[in-house]
Structure 1
Amino acid sequence: MPYPIPATIAVVLHNNRILLVRRANPPDAGYWGFPGGKINNGETIEGAAVRELFEETGIQGEALHIITAVDAFDRDDNNILKEHFVLIAVLCRWISGNAVAADDALEAGWFALEDINETSLSLSQDVAKVARMGITLASEAAL
C-alpha cells in the first residue's frame, strides 16, 4: 500500500481571477487545477508552492497563508490505489509574470470564480471549494 505523498498547490488571485493549469500527468491528467507538486526533502510547504507555481506557469509569487489540505488519489483502471497525495493549499500573492504552461501543465489561464463553478470546465476534485476558501481568506486579509 503506498504512503501518502505531501504536495502543495498554489492558489493565486490576481485582478479578481484565479490561476489554474490543465494537468498533463496523473492524478487528474487533463483536468484543471491549481499549479503544484511534490514537496522536496528539506523544502518548506511555502517554498514548494512558490517553486511549483514558477515551474508550471512562469509566475513569480509570494506564499502568504496555508488555506487547507485535500486528498488526491491516483487509481488504475481496476480502481486500485497507485498514489495518494495530500495537497496543502497555499494562498499566494502574484508578484510578476504571465501565465504560460510549462513543466507538467498543458495549459495555464486566469479564471473568474463563476467560470470555476461552471460544469463545462473539467475541474479536479475540490478546486471550486479551495478557490472559494482562498477568495474568502484573501478578502479577509485585504489582499
Structure 2
Amino acid sequence: MGRLMCDLGVAARVVQDNRILLVQEARGRYSGCWGLPKGHVESGESPEQAVLRELDEETNHKGVVIGLAAVRTALKRDDPAVFLCYDVASTTSSVMDQSDEISAAGWYSITELNQLNWVSETMQQLAIDGLSQRKTMEATNGLTVRDTPYAVYRTNRNLAANQGATL
C-alpha cells in the first residue's frame, strides 16, 4: 500500500449551558469571520491531540475529546482533504480574548448564530447541530493490540438530553 498525502484539519465543538464556543479569525482570507476553534494536525500528533492543542492555542481552554461529531471530505489541489469535527468537553472556565490568529472568542446561543459572519456554511451548520440535535460517535480504544494508541469511532449516541448540562 502506497502513502498518500492528505490535508487533515480538526475543529473543536464545545457546548456548555446551551451555548457554543466560537472564535473570530484575526487574519487571512477569513479575517472577521466566525467558526469553531480549528487547525491542522501536525506531524507526530493524533487528530485528537491536535484538536485539543488548537482549542488551547485559540481560546486558552483545556478539554477532553468525548466523540467525533462530523467528517467533511473534499479535494484540495487534487489531493484529499479531510476535516474532523470533535465534540469536546471543556475543563476550563475562562476564554482568552484574542491572539495573533484570533481577534475574539466567546459563547453564543442558537438565537445569536444567524447574526454572525461565518467562515463557511459547514461551520455554521456544525454549530447549529451542536446546539439543537447534538449527536456524537464515541471512541472505543484498544480493539486491537498495538504499540501506539488509537481510537475507533462508532455507534451514534444522542447527547441532546445533556445539552443544558456542562459536558
TM-score band w.r.t. shorter chain: 0.7 to 0.9
Structure-2 residue corresponding to 1:78 = none
Please state if 1:114 is matched with 2:111: yes
Structure-1 residue corresponding to 2:89 = 93
Q: CA RMSD in A?
A: 2.7
Structure-1 residue corresponding to 2:35 = 33
Structure 1 residue 71, shift from structure 2 partner = 6.0
In 2, Cα distance between equivalents of 1:26 and 1:72:
21
Identical positions, percent = 27
Which 5+ residue runs of structure 2 have no aligned equivalent? 137-156
TM score, norm. by length of structure 2 = 0.68
Which of the pair has more CA radius of gyration?
2
In 2, Cα distance between equivalents of 1:38 and 1:96:
22
2:119 to 104, 124, 127: 124
TM score, norm. by length of structure 1 = 0.78
Structure-1 residue corresponding to 2:13 = 11
Instruction: Give the AA of the match of 2:158.
Output: E
Structure 1 residue 85, shift from structure 2 partner = 5.5
Asked if structure 1 preserves the Cα contact closer than 8 Å seen for 2:20 and 2:130, the reply is no
Which 5+ residue runs of structure 1 have no aligned equivalent? 75-80
Please state if 1:52 is matched with 2:54: yes
SS state of the match for residue 30, structure 1?
coil
In 2, Cα distance between equivalents of 1:122 and 1:71:
23
What is the aligned length?
A: 132
In 2, Cα distance between equivalents of 1:22 and 1:99:
13
Instruction: Give the AA of the match of 1:121.
Output: L
